[in-house]
Amino acid sequence: MTRAVYVGASVLLASLLFGLAVNATAVPSEASPTDEGINVTHYDVNLRYQPEPELLSGVTTILATATRTVSQFDLHLLLGVSSVSVNNEPAAFTAKDGKLTVTPKPPVAAGADLLVVVRYRDNPAKYPPHPEHGWGWRHSPTGAVAVASSAWWYPSSFNPADRATFDVSVTVPRGTEAMASGALQYGGPIAVPGGDQWSWRGTRPQVAQSALLAIGQYDLRTSSSPTGQPVVTAYSTDLGDLNAPARASVDRTPEIVQALSNWFGPYPYNAQGGVVDSAFFNVVATATRPIYAGSYFQGGANASMVAHENAHQWYGNAVNPISLTTRWMSEGFATYAEFLWSEHEGLGTAAELAQYYYDQFPTGHPEWQHPPANPDPNSNSAFPVYTRAALALHALRTAVGDDTFFRIMRTWASAQQIDGVPTTAGFIAHAQQISGADLDALFQAWLFAGERPATGPNGPATAKPEPKSYQQITANSRLLTQEAHDHLAALQTVPAE
C-alpha cells in the first residue's frame, strides 16, 4: 500500500465534508485509483457491540473480482482478526498498522470472483485517530460514532475510488440505536438474543470511507420523501437547546433534496435523512445520510448547511474526487447549491451572491492567488475551493445559459462510472461537449489563474447590496474549513503506530 493511496483516500473525505486530514504535499495533482488486485462489489458487515467493557465483534463478507492474478491482497482494518477465508478456504493473513494482508490458497485467477470472510473482535477505542486511517472511534455520552473511519469497524479496500454496495447489521444493547448508511430494513430493530439488531441496506455503490456508523441514544424518526424514498432522521437525546434548531434544519431534508433534484437530476441513493450528534465535531456527507455536529446549530436553524451537505450526495459521493486539485468539484458544487437554495428561499439570487463575493476582493488581493484547481495545501481559507469554485460555476452558467448549464450539471453526475475518478480536464471537456462552446478561456480565468478574473461571474455588472444569505453561507464555508484545518493539525501530532 503506497502513501499516495492513503492520502488520496483522505482527500476524498475532505470532499465529503468531508474534511479529514490531507497531507497535501503527498497528493498527486490528479490522483488516480490504484490496482490493489481486487475490485470490491459488496460488503456485508455484521457487528455486535457491547459498551462495558467496550468490545466490537464482527464478521464481514466481501464480494470482489480479481483484477489480475492475485496471490496476495490487502484490506484496511485496525482491529484484531481471528480468521480469514477466501472462496470458502482458510487463508493465511498478517495484520500490522491497519493493513490486513491476505494470502489465498491457491492464488485467484484474473477475472475470477472472490468471497472473502473476515472475523474480528477488539476494542476499537484502543486505536487512536491517525492521518492514514481516519478520525477514529469517537465516544459520545451514550455510545460511539465512526465517520470516515472504516478501519475501526470493518475491513475495506484501500483504493479510494473503489465503490461497493452495503448491508450493515449491528446488534446493540436493547434500547440503543445503531445507524448506518442506506435504507433501514424491517421498519426498525429486531429483538435478538442479547439485544436489538438494526439492519441497513445501501443499493448504490459507495466508497468505503463514506459509510456511517453511529451507536447511542437517539430520537430516531422514520418517514417518506415526496418521491416515496425512506427518510430517517436521528437526534442525540442530549442536544438540549440545540434540538429545536437542528430539527428545524434537518427535518427539511426531503424538501431540500427535492429542490436539489430539480437542479442536479435524480437523487443518487435509495434513502435520505440525517443524524445530529452532540459529541461529533464536524459535518460529513456520509452516503444517504449526513451527520451533523450539534454545535453547528448554535446560531439557530441552518437549512443552507443541509443543502450543502446533501448536494454532496451528487458531488462528492456520486461524483467522487480524490485529489486536492479536484476537491473544488465537491465543495464548489455544494457551495453553489447553497446559492441556489438561497434563491429558492428568496434570500438572495445566485447572481447576487456571486457578484457580491466577487466584489469583496479587489484585484491583487491574496485570496485570488490560489485558484480552485491549485489551492494552497497549508491554507485554511475557504475562498478558493468553496467560494471561487462556486463563482466559476456561476460564470459558466452566465456563459452558456440556464438550460445548458443545468444540463451540464445533471449529466456530469449521471455520467460517472462506478469506480471512475473525475478530473478537472474531464469536467471542462464535458461542459464544452454539452454546450458546444469554447470555454477554455473561462476556465483558465476561474479555475487556474492565480489572479482575479478580469470579468465578473455575471459578465459586466455593477455592485449589488449584500444578499440576506451571504453571512450564513460565508459562516458555513469558514466553519467547515476551519474544523478540517484544526483536526488535520491534531491528527498530524498523533505518533506513528
Is 308 annotated among the ligand-binding residues?
yes
Is 76 annotated among the ligand-binding residues?
no
Question: Which H or E element spans position 195?
Answer: strand 195-207
Q: How many angstroms separate the Cα of 88 from the Cα of each of 66, 168, 320?
A: 16, 21, 33
Locus of grid cell 454532496:
312
Residues 6+ apart with CB under 8 A from 262: none
The C-alpha cell of 8 is what? 488520496
Q: What values do phi and psi take at 324, rounded to 5?
A: -60, -40
Angstrom distance (rounded) from CA 143 to CA 137: 10
User: Considering only CA atoms, which of 235, 366, 251, 369 is closest in space to residue 310?
Assistant: 251
Angstrom distance (rounded) from CA 376 to CA 386: 13
On whether the CB atoms of residues 351 and 458 are closer than 8 A, the answer is: yes
Is 370 annotated among the ligand-binding residues?
no
Residues 6+ apart with CB under 8 A from 472: 302, 304
Q: How many angstroms separate the Cα of 457 from the Cα of each of 83, 342, 391, 444, 478?
A: 58, 17, 6, 13, 21
Question: Which H or E element spans position 55?
Answer: strand 54-66
Q: What values do phi and psi take at 41, rounded to 5?
A: -115, -20
The total of other beta-carbon atoms located within 10 Å of residue 422's CB is 25
The C-alpha cell of 284 is what? 460529513
Angstrom distance (rounded) from CA 118 to CA 340: 45
Q: What values do phi and psi take at 315, rounded to 5?
A: -110, 95
**Binding site for Zn(2+): what residues are annotated?**
308, 312, 331
**Binding site: what residues are annotated?**
308, 312, 331
